[in-house]
Amino acid sequence: KKEKPDGAVFSLKYTHSKWLQAGSADLGMELAVKHVKEGELDMPINLIPEVVVLDPTHNIEVSRKFAEENRHRFHSAVVGGLSSGPAMRYSTVFQELGIESPIIAVPGTAGALSDASKYPNFFRTIQSDGLLARAFAFMVNTFQWKNVCMMYENGPYPIGQYNDIKVGFDNLGIEITNEEEYRIFPVNFYKDREIFQPEVLEGFNAMRRSKCRVHYFAAFPLSYKAIAELKYDLGFWGKEYVIVGTHFMTMSDYKSKLQQKKIEAVFEGSIAAMAPFYVGQKGAGIYNQLVQMNNGLQPNLFATYIYDCFLAYAYAVRYCIDQGLDYENPKDIHKAMYKISFEGAIGTFKVIGGETNDRSPVGFNIVNIVGGRQVEIGKYAPNDNIVLTFSQDPVFSNGKSIPPPDIAEDDLECPYFEHDKEINYWDRQELFIMSAYCIVSGCLVCALMFK
């Protein structure tokens, strides 16, 4: 806390995860603080941020202990980068402990967080996976695909994303082909991918046998590269296949030329609904400033959303001041969140209210991977009569703009699985062990001979 000459006292709690910080998302926080200090809201106080790290790997017990030990540090709100799982945990813990501070967060996109009756103190500046699922379903329906193969990681967020998308598909009569066969059992995509994990291989083989061309993966954005490499090694790429999805923001920063070749080959011709980096003229200006702050490079997708997080809190504080409320009282800040409206980096921010504390939707960009680059080809705007519009035709993996059929007439090509050969992980492991045994034995024999 710092006291200003006018007597105003203020303290901000800002939370972040390490991967957001490393990914340049925190630049959005820095820019928002700068703009408020320079008079964005003409406020008589200066916002001084204090960083409170809430580790996204915390389980509910650790989260509760942290909140209990630091509850004196939560004053009027908690602002910053909480992903879906931690956002659910901390929102639940705050309610249990009677901590009334609103949580204004990003990138917590899980559809479950839209339920204001269950998470009454949770607000977010990013759009929910539930809304994104509807955009995705509209896109698939536009191409007249009625069958989609889906694989999803075994974890709360990917399973939640899968459920959101399944609801969107059900509403439009789209089937998810043999859904239970395609579940990805625990595979750590953040480290060395386990190529011979039997359940994953069998899932891919089941996808090939179904003759379904259209593949979707409910997974963390960071997993997309690992999945793409695996698809390449198994032969799932080229004109036979189409990837549709929501997380293609990880198409840069390759580890090697070989990885780049694999990922670009698999994603070529894919199409996705993505959250926009910015909306409107003001948003474009904010985005350009973030690019400059990031040494001319595209910042993390969440940078602009964290910018809006901070501004939402600042506008709530300003509303309390104008209305004679106590801006250090969590209840007053909570009330103010339903009253404010402002132009931020992602268009107009306004809380819907009622059954949800989500922001009013601003829509999504439709992007197409062409020549290894993301090309924006359309918009999904849920507030318009025509919700899905295209500015140019997509180019699919077959090099054509006409959507390929969702089901192939002939068997799909996939050299790894040709002749439907049996996948036996243990045969491969035994072969490796026997090979290693022979090499070690040979070395020992040679050592004894020359001793």
pLDDT exceeds cutoff 70 at 349:
yes
Burial 309-340 (b: 16+ CB within 10 A, else e): bbbbbbbbbbbbbeeebebbebebbbbbbeeb
Residue 377: pLDDT band (50, 70, 90) is very high
When comparing pLDDT for 188 and 409, which is higher? 409
Backbone CA torsion sign across 187, 188, 190, 193:
negative
Residue 346 confidence (pLDDT): 94
CB distance 165 to 136 below 8 Å: yes
When comparing pLDDT for 248 and 390, which is higher? 390
pLDDT exceeds cutoff 70 at 95:
yes
CB distance 379 to 273 below 8 Å: no
Q: 190 — phi, psi (to 5°)?
A: -85, -15
Give the model confidence (pLDDT) of 310-331 as tens digits: 899 889 988 988 899 988 888 9
∠19-215-205 over CA atoms, to 5°? 105
Hey, what amino acid is at 19? W
Q: 195 — phi, psi (to 5°)?
A: -60, -35
Hey, what amino acid is at 87? A
Pull the structure tokens for residue 110. 């899980």
∠117-127-286 over CA atoms, to 5°? 130
Hey, what amino acid is at 218? A
pLDDT exceeds cutoff 50 at 3:
no
Residue 74 confidence (pLDDT): 73
Residue 348 confidence (pLDDT): 94
pTM over 0.85: no
State how far the Cα of 196 lies from the Cα of 221, in Å rounded to an integer: 22
Give the model confidence (pLDDT) of 260-273 as tens digits: 888 888 889 999 88
Residue 1: pLDDT band (50, 70, 90) is very low
Q: Which residues contact 289 (CB under 8 A, 6 or more apart)?
A: 31
Residue 120 confidence (pLDDT): 93
Pull the structure tokens for residue 325. 């409320």
Name the percent of the chain lying above pLDDT 70.
77
Neighbours of 341 (CB within 10 A): 10
Burial 369-380 (b: 16+ CB within 10 A, else e): bbeeebeebbbb
Q: Counting beta carbons within 10 angstroms of the beta carbon of residue 437, is it exposed (0 to 12), middle (13 to 18) or buried (19 or more)? A: exposed
State how far the Cα of 327 lies from the Cα of 41, in Å rounded to an integer: 15
Residue 295 confidence (pLDDT): 87
Give the model confidence (pLDDT) of 130-148 as tens digits: 888 888 888 888 899 988 8
Measured N-to-C along each axis, helices 303-322 and 280-293 cross at an angle, to the nearest 10 degrees, of: 120
∠47-52-54 over CA atoms, to 5°? 140
Closest to 106 in 3D by CA, of 133, 130, 78:
78
Strands 12-15 and 351-353: unpaired
pLDDT exceeds cutoff 90 at 338:
yes
Q: Which residues contact 431 (CB under 8 A, 6 or more apart)?
A: none
Residue 66 confidence (pLDDT): 80
pLDDT exceeds cutoff 50 at 49:
no
Give the model confidence (pLDDT) of 263-308 as tens digits: 888 889 999 888 898 999 999 999 999 999 988 888 877 889 989 9
pLDDT exceeds cutoff 70 at 419:
no
When comparing pLDDT for 143 and 200, which is higher? 143
